Amino acid sequence: MKEAVSKMIKIRTLGIVTSLIILIGYPCIRTFGQPLLIQNISKRAILSLNGKWNYIIDPYEMGYYDYRTKPYDENPKPQDRAFYTNTKPKDKTERIEYDFDKSPTLLVPRDWNSQEEKLLYYEGTIWYKKSFDYQKSGPGNRVFIHFGAVNYRADVYLNGKKLGFHKGGFTPFNFEITDLVREKDNFVIVKVTNTRSAEEVPTLNTDWWNYGGITRDVTIAETPAAFISDYFLQLKKGTDEILSGYVRLNGSAVSGREIEVAIPGIGFNKKIVTDNSGKASVEVAVQGLRLWSPQDPHLYDVKIISDRDSISDRIGFRTLATRGSDILVNGKPVFLRGISIHEENAIRGGRAYSREDAQMLLNWVKELGCNFVRLAHYPHNENMARLADEMGIMVWEENPVYWTIQWTNPETFKTAANQLKELISRDKNRASVIVWSMANETPVTPERIIFLKNLADTTRSIDNVRLVSAALEQKSTPGNELVRTIEDPFAQYVDLVSFNEYIGWYDGLPSKCAGIEWKIDYDKPVFISEFGADALGGLHGDSLTRWSEEYQQYMYRETLKMIGKIPNLRGCSPWILVDFRSPRRVLPGIQDGWNRKGLISETGNKKKAFYTLKEFYESVSKKY
């Protein structure tokens, strides 16, 4: 990891030029011992470790620290009481105070909160253990263990040896285990901690459930000694016929290796050669591409072949740009008919984790008439982006920089940047993904602007094709409460001016919408990233009865008329598709631990406002 460097950025905020110095660490934080993140893991020769894992609840972390709070894994001779050693008594006289094999089990992938009632609100440490056998398919091959996501910190051990750690509850990571894995009797132990912390991303305060556990797939993947670890193929920015990108090999002797990139559907075949780092760049004209769009979500079979490895993917190609107030997909203006989603299966309960979960949510999205979805407030499962590719749904993906975090803490920035990089690394070949979001509802301060600008710069250095945005906040203009504007200097750094507003719910009654005037002085597309009102499914009253479906519907009607007057409006993603759990929502008989802003209840029933938004989107679709 490079040493943190001092960086001075002058910014103009609220009419004042402020010079600030902040320590920002580049590149992103790396997990201890982690290699480059392997792409398209499902296409590798894999062994699934999904299923039942034994677990031990450890709120005092006694399996990790000795009584002087020193980590056992930093001791050259760890004590037998360290859980990751999985020690068994040698005879009847030996005292060992834990036993994974006699402990209960949890399902992986799943959160722990929804599996055991006693764990519903649990925040702390749980140790997971899984035993497995593994025989390599070829001599000289390499073996990795890959986690789709673990919330929040994962310390991973194989056969008593620490592989490393990872922070971030929603992004993938992997470790090489070639020299540690055995043919028989392997055991992987993961210390999972979901304790919220002020310096982490997200921080202490969120409006969603802090689901702990190994929440996505765990697999053992096998590769050749030198393998295709990463690739990025897209249409070059500003063109619809130049394929641009790279392929990267990982391993020894990766210099000067020939790689073939083929798209059989158009008869495309190109051979490229790696440089000293194992990277081979490609930029070549292609003919006859059928461009991906919501109306025609065409995906090509793409094959990447080296002398020792091959990988295949299904990739769509499309152009993306902004021009003044327009968003252009394949050169044509689009209106983003969106909805926001949390990664929950409310009907089953708990964190969504399967392709079936994603299919259920995106089927509702299509039924609503959407061509766009905002995945809030963190990276969702890879299933979502891949299914959106197939279904023709454009996607906003978001980094979990939420509300207020430690803007001047270099380690906090590294953690945020790492999660953003891992998200982009995973989904950069998905045609459906058109927006990378830096943050949600963060306060306007000079330190925060530097923080977010550096995230935006990092994003564009990795992917200069997709749009960069953030869910900002609107405010009243001085002296006139009914004239609303965006006074956020970060708006100058985004491609899409996006903001949340709750006029008619947190800000007056729905009738207030009729008197609101918008003054947004940016020649950019405007996107309303959130608006909404709570309604308990099945509760009815007149249009001014709070918590009723009629109130929510009234607020939607007035809001849609209000935002329709914004000249640069090019889309919205109301809050939210389905009711979701939140410990902040405690009103008995109404909320009961649920945020009720969903257009669909936790029982799967559609509320009145669902059909109001659907009707609006049907009318908009006739204009675009």
Q: What is the mean pLDDT of residues 548-554?
A: 98
3-state secondary structure at position 416:
helix
Q: Give the burial class of 381: count Cβ atoms within 10 A of its Cβ; 0-12 exposed, 13-18 middle, 19 or more buried.
A: buried
Give CA–CA dist 81/259, Å, rounded: 50
For residue 141, the Cα-to-chain-centroid distance in whole angstroms is 31
For residue 474, the Cα-to-chain-centroid distance in whole angstroms is 25
Q: What is the mean pLDDT of residues 220-236?
A: 96
pTM of the complete model: 0.93
Q: Give the burial class of 50: count Cβ atoms within 10 A of its Cβ; 0-12 exposed, 13-18 middle, 19 or more buried.
A: middle
Give CA–CA dist 591/601, Å, rounded: 11
Q: What is the mean pLDDT of residues 278-295?
A: 96
Supply 205's token pair.
């305060």
The confidence score (pLDDT) of residue 36 equals 78
- The model's pLDDT over 516-542, given as tens digits with 9 standing for 90+, comes to 999 999 999 999 999 999 999 999 999
- The model's pLDDT over 401-454, given as tens digits with 9 standing for 90+, comes to 999 999 999 999 999 999 999 999 999 999 999 999 999 999 999 999 999 999
Q: CA angle, corner 381, sides to 407 and 174, nearest 5?
A: 80
Q: Which domains does the chain have, with CATH numbers?
A: 41-223 (2.60.120.260), 239-317 (2.60.40.10), 322-328+335-621 (3.20.20.80)
The candidate with the shortest Cα–Cα distance to 559, out of 615, 620, 513, is 513
Phi, psi for 36 (deg, rounded to 5): -55, 140
Whether the Cβ atoms of residue 598 and residue 610 lie closer than 8 Å to each other:
no
Give CA–CA dist 6/454, Å, rounded: 13
Supply the Cα-derived Rg of the chain in whole angstroms.
25
The confidence score (pLDDT) of residue 138 equals 87
The H-or-E segment that residue 558 falls in is helix 549-563
Q: Which of 69-83, 173-187, 287-301, 328-342 has the lowest mean pLDDT?
A: 69-83
The edge-to-edge listing of strands for the beta sheet with 161-167 is 105-108, 51-57, 125-132, 186-193, 153-158, 161-167
List of residues 6+ apart from 215 with CB closer than 8 A = 109, 110, 111, 148, 149, 150, 151, 169, 351, 353
- The model's pLDDT over 473-516, given as tens digits with 9 standing for 90+, comes to 999 999 999 999 999 999 999 999 999 999 999 999 999 999 99
Give CA–CA dist 52/109, Å, rounded: 9
The confidence score (pLDDT) of residue 257 equals 96
Q: Identify the band that residue 25 occupies on the pLDDT scale cut at 50, 70 and 90.
A: very low
- The model's pLDDT over 29-87, given as tens digits with 9 standing for 90+, comes to 334 334 479 999 999 988 999 999 999 999 999 999 998 899 998 876 767 789 999 99
Would you say the C-alpha torsion 211, 506, 503, 523 has a positive or negative sign? Answer: negative
Give CA–CA dist 461/455, Å, rounded: 10
For residue 330, the Cα-to-chain-centroid distance in whole angstroms is 25
- To which residue do tokens 């105070």 refer? 97
Q: CA angle, corner 368, sides to 494 and 485, nearest 5?
A: 35
- The model's pLDDT over 345-356, given as tens digits with 9 standing for 90+, comes to 989 999 999 999
pLDDT greater than 80 at residue 7: no
Whether the Cβ atoms of residue 2 and residue 27 lie closer than 8 Å to each other:
yes
The confidence score (pLDDT) of residue 514 equals 97
pLDDT greater than 90 at residue 27: no
The confidence score (pLDDT) of residue 258 equals 97
Supply 427's token pair.
């989904």
- The model's pLDDT over 83-103, given as tens digits with 9 standing for 90+, comes to 999 999 999 999 999 999 999
Which string of DSSP letters, residue by residue, matches 5-50?
EEEEEEEEETTEEEEEEEEE-SS----TT--SPPS-GGGSEEEE--
Whether the Cβ atoms of residue 53 and residue 115 lie closer than 8 Å to each other:
no
Q: Identify the band that residue 358 occupies on the pLDDT scale cut at 50, 70 and 90.
A: very high
In angstroms, the first-to-last Cα distance of the chain is: 48
Would you say the C-alpha torsion 460, 464, 466, 468 has a positive or negative sign? Answer: positive
Supply 256's token pair.
């000067």
Whether the Cβ atoms of residue 276 and residue 253 lie closer than 8 Å to each other:
no
Task: Tell me what percent of the residues of the chain surpass a pLDDT of 70.
Answer: 94
- The whole-chain average pLDDT of the chain stands at 93
The residue count of the chain comes to 624
State the number of CA atoms in the 13 A half-sphere of 509 facing the CB: 6
pLDDT greater than 90 at residue 624: no
Task: Tell me what percent of the residues of the chain surpass a pLDDT of 90.
Answer: 90
Whether the Cβ atoms of residue 529 and residue 474 lie closer than 8 Å to each other:
no
Question: Is the backbone of residue 185 left (phi > 0), alpha (psi -120 to 50) or beta?
Answer: left
Q: Identify the band that residue 583 occupies on the pLDDT scale cut at 50, 70 and 90.
A: very high
Q: Which of 8-17, 61-70, 329-338 has the lowest mean pLDDT?
A: 8-17
Which string of DSSP letters, residue by residue, matches 228-242?
EEEEEEEEPTT-SSE
